[in-house]
Structure 1
C-alpha cells in the first residue's frame, strides 16, 4: 500500500493560521482540511500561533520546516517559494505590493529587482485579473492557473437575503484603501435620512488599532449617519449580520485580488456595491453593482437604487463557481502538475 501524498501548507508571517485570523488564513486552513481527506496535510507557519498540529519556527530556514513533505503550497510569498527545492504551488491572493519581495520599491510602486520563479514552482492566482497581473510582475511565459477562492459554508450553504433594517453594512477591514472615506462621503448624499452605514471595528490582522485605524474611526464617529459595531469573527455570526442589512458595501480604491467580503455577500443574495478595482470587477457578472468610489454622488445614487430596487443576484452561480469542492480540485490538479515537473 502506497503512502498518501504529503502536502505542506505555508502561511505568511502576518497572522496565525487560524480561520478567524483573516481571509487568506481561512483559505489556507480550508484547503488543508479539504485535501486531508485524500492526502496527508500539515500547516506550517513562520508565526508562533500555537495552533494544534501546526509547525512553527521563526528562525529556521523554510526548507527545514517543510522537511518530510512531498509538495508545498506557499501563499503570497514568491521569495519563499524559491527557498524550497521541493515541488511548490505558489498561490497569490493580492497584488505585488503584498508579496514582501525584497525588490519592491513602495515609493515608486514598482519592482526594482526582477523575481524569477524556479522551474519547480507552479504559480496560481485567485482571479483572472490577478493572473494577468502576476504574469506581468513575475515575467512568466504563461498565465498562472486561476484558483478561485472558496466561500465559507456559512455563506455558501446559508439562507438567502431578507433585510430587516435600513442600515447598510461595511464589513471590510477599516483601511483607507478599502474605501472608508468614500463611503462616508456617499452616505451623506443619500436622500433618505434613515439610511445609515454600519462599520465593523475590523482591524485584522492587527490586534490593536494603528494610527490609520484611529483616524478612520474619528471620521466615522463624526458622521451622524455612520455607526460602529464590534468585529465579528465567527463566519456564521457574520453571515447572519449581513442578512439583515439592506446592502453590503465594498468600494475598494486600490486593486483587490478578488475580494472575499463581497463574494460572501453575493453568496447570500445581498445587494453588493463594489468598485471595479482589480478582480472586484469580475463579480459584476453575478449582479454586484459597480461604482466609482470617488464619485460620491454616483455612489450615493447606486446606494439608493440598490435599496429601492434591489438587483437580481446570481446566488446559484456564485455558490457553484466558488464552492470548496471546485476550488480544492483545481488546487489538487496544480499540486499534481508541480510534482510532475
Structure 2
C-alpha cells in the first residue's frame, strides 16, 4: 500500500497560526487542513509568535514556525525545512513570488498556488511576466470564488484550465445562531450589557480602510436615523489586523461620526474569539465594500450567526449572499443610497430579518461550513480521487 500523500502548506508569514489576532489566509488553512489528516500527511509552515513552539502539533497537524519580519529569510528557512519533509505537493498561500522560489529549490514537488484575494497578483506586487511564470509552474490554482477565477483568467488566460473554485466556510460551532437557545441567551446578555435592548444595531466588522467602504455607512446614518431614531451603527475594527493603531482614513471616519453622537460607536480591533459575540448582539451586518472583495469570510460568519447581511453587489459577495433570501445586495454604482434603502427595508421588517437569519443559518450549515469547504477542496483539487486510486479511502476528519 502506498504511503499517504504529503502536502506542505506554506503560509505568507504575515500572521501566526492559529490565527488568534486575525489573518484570513491563516484562518482558512487552520480550518481546512486539519480535516485532511488521516488521509493525507499535511505540514503547515508559518511565522513564529510568543507562546507557540517553533515546531509542534496543532489540531493533529505538524506546524513549523519561523521568524518572518524579513520575508526573504523567512522563505529560506521554510525552504530548508521543506527539504527534510520532501512533500509530494507544495501549496503556496497567496504569494505567487514565493511559489517561483520554492519551485526552483524543490523541483521534485508538484506546485499548487492558493490565491485568497486579488491583492498579490496586482502589478504593484508582481510583474505580469512573473505572474505568468508562477501560474505556468503551478499545477493547480485554487481560488475562493468565481469572481476571483475570472480575475486570474483575465490576467493569465493560458492558466484558465488550471483554476479550481473552493468556496470557504465558517465554524458553525464557534458561531451559534441567534435563534438557538445558546445564541439567544448570549444575545440577550450582550445587548443588556451594551444598553442595546431598545436599539436596532447595524454592525460593521473588519478593517478600517477605504476599500471596505465604511464611509458610506457614516454618510447614510443621518437619513437612516430620521426613519429609525433608535438605529445604531457599531463599527468594530482598526486599520490593521491585531493592532489598535489609527490612520488618516480612520481618523476621518471618527470626525464625521462625531456629529451623530451616540448613534455611532467605534470599537477598536477585537480578538477573533470575541467576534461571535459582536455578531450575536447585532440585528444586521453591513458590508459596504467598494471593489476587489474576492470572498469575505465575515459574510458567512454572519450567516452562521443567523444575522442577515446587507452588502455591496461586488466581487464574490454575490456568490455568498443570496439577494432577498439570506440578505440584500446594494448596487455599487450608487452605494450610499442603495445601502440606505436596503438597511431601511430590513430595519422596518422584524419578521423578514428573522426569516432571513434562519435561512442564512441553514445555508451556513449545509454549504458554508468548514466541513463542506474541506470536502470541496479535496474533490476539486483531485486529492480525493488520487487517494482512492492509490488504495487510500478518502476520509475527512469531522
**Structure 1 stretches of 4+ moved >6 Å:** 337-340
Q: Aligned pair count?
A: 332
Does 26-35 or 112-121 show the bigger shift? 112-121
**Corresponding position of 1:196:** 232
User: Is 2:208–2:238's contact at 8 Å kept on the other side of the alignment?
Assistant: yes
Question: 5 Å matches for 1:292-303?
Answer: 292=331, 294-303=334-343
1:326 aligns with 2:326: no
Question: 5 Å matches for 1:101-120?
Answer: 104-105=123-124, 111=128, 114-116=131-133, 117-120=135-138
CA distance in 2, matches of 1:128, 1:284: 14
**Corresponding position of 1:336:** 383
Which sections of structure 2, spanning at least 5 residues, go unmatched?
57-63, 188-196, 388-398
User: Is 1:121–1:338's contact at 8 Å kept on the other side of the alignment?
Assistant: no
Which sections of structure 1, spanning at least 5 residues, go unmatched?
none
**Corresponding position of 1:171:** 205
**Corresponding position of 2:88:** 70
CA distance in 2, matches of 1:273, 1:249: 5
- Higher share of residues assigned helix: 2
**Corresponding position of 2:270:** 232
User: Is 1:122–1:337's contact at 8 Å kept on the other side of the alignment?
Assistant: no
**Corresponding position of 2:11:** 11
> In the TM superposition, what is the alpha-carbon distance from 1:338 to its structure 2 partner?
11
* Deviation digits for residues 171-207 of structure 1 (CA, Å, limit 9, x no counterpart): 1222211111001011221121211100113344352
Classify 1:193/1:13 alpha carbon distance in 2 versus 1 (closer, same or farther; 3 Å): same
TM-score (norm 1): 0.85
> In the TM superposition, what is the alpha-carbon distance from 1:155 to its structure 2 partner?
5.2
Q: Which is greater in Rg?
A: 2
CA distance in 1, matches of 2:155, 2:385: 21
User: Is 2:311–2:339's contact at 8 Å kept on the other side of the alignment?
Assistant: no
* Deviation digits for residues 41-68 of structure 1 (CA, Å, limit 9, x no counterpart): 22212x3335333332541535334221
Instruction: Specify which of 136, 148, 161 is matched with residue 167 of structure 2.
Output: 148
Instruction: Specify which of 88, 102, 113 is matched with residue 90 of structure 1.
Output: 113
CA distance in 1, matches of 2:292, 2:43: 31
TM-score (norm 2): 0.74
1:290 aligns with 2:329: yes
Q: Is the partner of 1:169 in helix, strand or coil?
A: strand
> In the TM superposition, what is the alpha-carbon distance from 1:292 to its structure 2 partner?
3.1
**Root-mean-square deviation over aligned CA pairs:** 2.9
Classify 1:33/1:157 alpha carbon distance in 2 versus 1 (closer, same or farther; 3 Å): farther
1:137 aligns with 2:145: no
**Corresponding position of 1:182:** 216
**Corresponding position of 1:275:** 312
Does 51-60 or 111-120 show the bigger shift? 111-120
